[in-house]
Copies of this chain bind each other. A is one copy, B any other.
Amino acid sequence: MILIAERINGMFKDVKQAIQEKNRKVIQDLANKQTDAGASYLDVNVGTAAADQEGTMQWLVETIQSAKGGCSTPLSLDSQKPNVIAAGLKVINAENGVLLNSTPLNKKTDEEILDKYIEMANQAGPKACIIALTMDKNGVPQDTDTRVAIAADIVTKAMEKGFDAQRLFIDPIVLPLKVPNAQVQPGNILAAMDQIRFLSDPPPHITVGLSNISQGAAERSLINRVFLAMAMSHGLDSAIADVLDEDLMNVVAASDMLMNKQIYSDSFLKVYKTVNK
């Protein structure tokens, strides 16, 4: 399971304050803690913490990379604005990889935005990957078929550009369960995953912003855990998630084992943590 740790995000109060006070320690501690917990990538999102999105993204990247002992966990540069991601790429050490998070297929203006991300990823190096949302100029689809159709367009476009499908993380866009009329969405998303994983061979990765499912809901960790287990049995192999939630990480370990990605041993929870580091 490829886990993208969600906590370095200006939407969280402690991170927002750290950004505003230029307090590197708070950010570096989160980088190290999430790495220790098993993060494959550290998500980096300025959020609403600063008007200077580009400069702040660069400050966050430099702060994480200069953590004591040297944090070499690859980063996931998270912004809806390509210029903010580009700013981060200017200062990043992408030797171990980097995730460009995220792009729709195209925009209302018909701008071929995915093309731009493929160019940026190629410039960033052979290990740079892209999170591509199943979203296009018409917005976020609500049904299964449109999600799959957009995913197919994303994979096709990547292939045309010679960009390996395995460098794509397709995100079928999880909506909060609490939104009225959204209760049909989890089923639709799982059904979309069933098809997305057969779009190419080898397949693209499939990822979700897991915590979105429980946005505003009671029992958030429980809902996250249950949906993650379900999704991992439908082909999900990545998630932006709270890796500091130990109950969630135990579900990841058990799911990997049940899906035959990890062999059974009595100490499978410990083994998972060791192997994932």
Contacts and interface: CB of A to CB of B under 8 A. Distances in A.
Nearest to A224: B254
Nearest to A263: B183
Nearest to A223: B254
Interface in A100-150: none
A266 interface: yes
Contact of A232 (B230, B232, B257): B230
A187 B229 contact: no
Contacts of A205: none
Contacts of A257: 177, 183, 223
Contacts of A232: 230
B233 A264 contact: no
A259 B234 CA distance: 14
Interface residues of A, number: 35
Interface string A192-229: 00000000000000000000010001110011011101
Contacts of A217: 264, 266
A108 to B, nearest CB: 31
Contact of A259 (B187, B229, B259): B187
B183 A254 contact: no
A25 interface: no
Nearest to A269: B219
A190 B229 CA distance: 13
Contact of A186 (B219, B230, B258): B258
A185 to B, nearest CB: 9
Interface string A175-186: 001100001101
Given A186-B260, A219-B254, A225-B229, 14 more contacts: A177-B258, A178-B264, A183-B257, A187-B233, A187-B258, A187-B259, A187-B260, A219-B268, A219-B269, A223-B257, A225-B251, A226-B255, A226-B258, A230-B258
A219 to B, nearest CB: 7
Interface in A234-250: 234, 250
B251 A222 contact: yes
17 contacts: A178-B264, A183-B260, A186-B260, A187-B233, A187-B260, A218-B266, A219-B250, A219-B254, A222-B254, A226-B229, A226-B251, A226-B258, A227-B258, A230-B232, A230-B255, A233-B233, A233-B234
A202 to B, nearest CB: 18
